[in-house]
Amino acid sequence: MTEIFRPAADAPPAEPVVVAIDGPAGSGKSSVAKQAARELGYGYLDTGAAYRALAWHALAHGADTSDSTAVLDVSGDFDYAISLDPDAYWVRVGTTDVTEAIREPRVTDAVSGVARVPPVRESVNALFRSLVAHSGRPGVVVEGRDITTVVAPEAPVRILLTAAPEVRAARRSAELTSHDAAAIAEALHRRDASDSKVVDFLTAAPGVAVVDSTDLDFDQTVAAVLDVVRATLRQAQRPVGARSETDGDGGAR
């Protein structure tokens, strides 16, 4: 699997503030995390995109994503790149822009098979940490399925963003207007059931704040997340949405 970010050998690792956001499919993690990153002046890392991109890559090569060996074989030439800019977001596999393609239902159905392979998760999780550490930004909002417990368990801000299943299905249906609402609800249910065998993304670990957006609109959900971020960093006496004046390399300390 190709590493997508290689910092210069003489560049000291940055120490950005990490805002870790977990949650089930359809909870609004991506859109909320991206907007929160904009308002904080942070980078944005969609970790699910890596697994989706690998699933797309596997399908493009005719691999059976339910076969761990096949997934490992095809991951050997997985050339992946992602933007951390919330205002210029893209995902590429090799020279192909797959930003939209990885959201297709066929890819969604294949993601769990890819994500459940332990060596793949270990490699991808290490990649996430490297991307964050060398982002050159004062902070990065990282969202996904096991961010608060596995990828960034020591993050100063950890949030579980959730919502009632019927609300999540309705929101996803609104996004995918060309798909049947009942089919979308069933797909979300299958995805949750499959992914829950790999990670627990429905229960907040100790120290993780819960933001339930069931009765909140988008702006209210973003505001609730920002309230948690600012209150937590203020309590920890960390910079909020700005670079430290004494930090010359752009990291927040």
DSSP string, 48-94: HHHHHHHHHHHHHTT--TT-HHHHHHHHTT--EEE---TTS--EEET
Q: Does the annotation flag 25 for ligand binding?
A: yes
What is the C-alpha separation between 62 and 41, in angstroms, rounded?
40
d(CA 144, CA 22) in angstroms, rounded, equals: 5
CA angle 228, 141, 84 (to 5 degrees): 160
Residue 31, annotated ligand binder?
yes
Measuring CA to CA, which residue among 76, 81, 34 is closest to residue 58? 76
Q: Tell whether residue 48 is among the known ligand binding residues.
A: no
**Is position 68 annotated in a ligand binding site?**
no
> Annotation-wise, does 136 bind a ligand?
no
Q: Which two tokens stand for residue 130?
A: 């490297």
Asked if residue 24 belongs to a known ligand binding site, the reply is yes
Does the annotation flag 105 for ligand binding? no
Q: Which residues participate in the annotated binding site? A: 23-31
Q: Which residues participate in the annotated binding site for ATP? A: 23-31
